[in-house]
Amino acid sequence: MVHRDSGLPDLLYVDFHLLHEGSSPQAFDGLRRSARSVRRPDLTLATEDHIVPTRTLTYPPADNTAALLMRTLRANCDEFGVAMYPMASPGQGIVHVIGPELGVTQPGMTILCGDSHTSTHGAFGALAFGIGTSQVEHVLATQTLSAEKPKTMAVTVVGALSDGATAKDLALFTVASLGTGGAQGHIVEYRGAAIRALSMEQRMTLCNMSIELGARAGVVGPDEVTFAYLRGRPYAPSDDDWASAVERWRQFASDADADYDSEVFIDATKVSPYVTWGTNPSQAAPLSEAVPDPSDFDTPEAQAAAARALEYMDIAPGTPMSEILVDTVFLGSCTNGRIEDLRSAADVLRGRRVAEGVHMVVVPGSMAVKTSAEAEGLDRIFLDAGAEWRNAGCSLCVGMNDDVLQSGQRAASTSNRNFEGRQGKGSRTHLVSPSVAAATAITGHLTSPETLRASS
């Protein structure tokens, strides 16, 4: 905190500022217009992720808009002395994948980026949230941000997740239970035994989707799992400073009896593979059940929203979720594009083939994820199954690059948003976990790995 005055928002110091090509051009233009420099280029890092093609590493890409945005980011970083990872460089990747992977993201830090899913970094016990373009300009110029203190909400997850349930299922279950406005404007802290049992990558998946609850940010208190993940990473403290860093980081874990503005409880034993049937992430159901009927919902608004969503998705109420056919499977994004996600999908796909007529696209979240996946032979598993193996980027998560679905196409997607047109105009998206994505690719209809195993 830099400054606090009664009646005014607090002025926060920003420990790290991440940039991408999609939300930074106007911010740099603003700096230029007011003849300002970047205050702390050493605490600023940029990457190309949203609009980069993932099929090729040729620069400039054929798409003129993409080429312009990439050229702009490169020129801005050059002019203002900001380090950046261009397409094809070993450090490039989705901004929320590379921050943690480099060890930039550490407990207790304030981390900002002009991107809503900055909440991902909260998995390390950092205060991390998305900001708008004018705020990006403010942070570039001053390394501070003025912000109101948000309310806090504890999401306490009791019990243990069953073997077939992943962090993605827990995230979809939570959004389905609380609604897309369930944590509106709050910072959500995920707590409880089930959270402690999650790996860092799973915690990132969960914190990533806090935005889908309407939250500003999601956090998990740091613990041994956090420290073990960070050790030895390029931006992490050196061995000499390690013990004192860990001692400091421990203080950022909340007390067991901490007060929150509100608290909700989630029973982890109730979580099974979850899939969305509608056009917002809360319109989700267990894969073992049927698509709801709009009349099942309590309020006229929810009924109308469900009816509208089912019409857009072209699904009849009461259809068993497992009978929904897809033509595309997307494995990737800042929600589920990390190495553990690729491993869990590869485990299901090993020795099997993607169904006839289904197009599976695997997009590692970063070039480092790509390299480690290849070192483990995961690329071979995907390629042998008939999937496409790509370079790092946001790809099919968002219709901002050359990966878009045609109108009417339907995807099982490991990303975080299933809004109308999210994967291209008229596209239909079912949000799933990596292992459900893989099982679905094999059968061509929404499938859990358990049913796949039982039927083979």
Ligand X SMILES: CC(C)[C@H](C(=O)O)[C@@H](O)C(=O)O
Interface ranges with ligand SF4 (CB under 6 A): 49-50, 94, 96, 115, 117, 333-334, 394, 397-398, 415-416
Enumerate residues 6+ apart whose C-beta is below 8 A from 240: none
Determine the Cα–Cα distance for residues 456 and 451; give it in Å rounded to an integer. 9
Q: Which does 333 bind (CB under 5 to 8 A by kind): ligand SF4, ligand X, none?
A: ligand SF4
Residue 281 near ligand X by CB under 6 A: no
Q: Which stretch binds ligand X (CB under 6 A): 112-120, 158-166, 245-253, 442-450?
A: 112-120
Closest residue to ligand X, judged by C-beta, is: 116
Q: Which does 101 bind (CB under 5 to 8 A by kind): ligand X, ligand SF4, none?
A: none
For residue 200, the surrounding DSSP H or E stretch is: helix 200-208
Residues 328-347 close enough to bind ligand X by CB under 6 A: none
Minimum distance from CB of 112 to ligand SF4 (Å)?
A: 14
C-alpha atoms less than 13 angstroms from C-alpha of 131 in its C-beta half-sphere: 27
Q: How far are the Cα atoms of 49, 85, 108, 382 from residue 122, in angstroms, in the given order?
A: 20, 22, 9, 31
Determine the Cα–Cα distance for residues 118 and 204; give it in Å rounded to an integer. 10
Give the total of residues touching ligand X (CB under 6 A).
Answer: 8
In single-letter form, the type of residue at position 358 comes to: V
**Residue from 116, 146, 156, 409 in contact with ligand X (CB under 6 A):** 116
Preceding peptide of 60 cis, ω within 30°: yes
Q: Which stretch binds ligand X (CB under 6 A): 114-122, 183-191, 214-222, 251-259?
A: 114-122
By beta-carbon proximity to ligand SF4, the closer residue of 96 and 410 is 96
Site string for ligand X, 38-57 (x = CB under 6 A): ------------x-------
Determine the Cα–Cα distance for residues 318 and 332; give it in Å rounded to an integer. 30
By beta-carbon proximity to ligand X, the closer residue of 23 and 413 is 23
Minimum distance from CB of 115 to ligand SF4 (Å)?
A: 5
Residue 130 near ligand X by CB under 6 A: yes
- Degrees, nearest 5: CA angle 184-188-191: 150
Determine the Cα–Cα distance for residues 417 and 447; give it in Å rounded to an integer. 20
DSSP tag of 24: -
Backbone angles phi, psi at 397, to 5 degrees: -65, -30
Minimum distance from CB of 333 to ligand SF4 (Å)?
A: 4
Q: Which does 130 bind (CB under 5 to 8 A by kind): ligand X, ligand SF4, none?
A: ligand X
Residue 74 near ligand X by CB under 6 A: no
Q: What is the SS3 assignment for 256? A: coil
By beta-carbon proximity to ligand SF4, the closer residue of 20 and 352 is 20
Determine the Cα–Cα distance for residues 31 and 35; give it in Å rounded to an integer. 6
Residue 176 near ligand X by CB under 6 A: no
Residues 3-22 close enough to bind ligand X by CB under 6 A: 22
**In whole angstroms, how large is the CA radius of gyration of the chain?**
21
Minimum distance from CB of 379 to ligand SF4 (Å)?
A: 20
Residue 117 near ligand X by CB under 6 A: yes
In single-letter form, the type of residue at position 109 comes to: M
What is the separation of C-alpha 325 from the centre of its chain, rounded to a whole number of angstroms?
Answer: 25
By beta-carbon proximity to ligand SF4, the closer residue of 15 and 115 is 115
Site residues, ligand X (CB under 6 A): 22-23, 50, 115-117, 130, 398
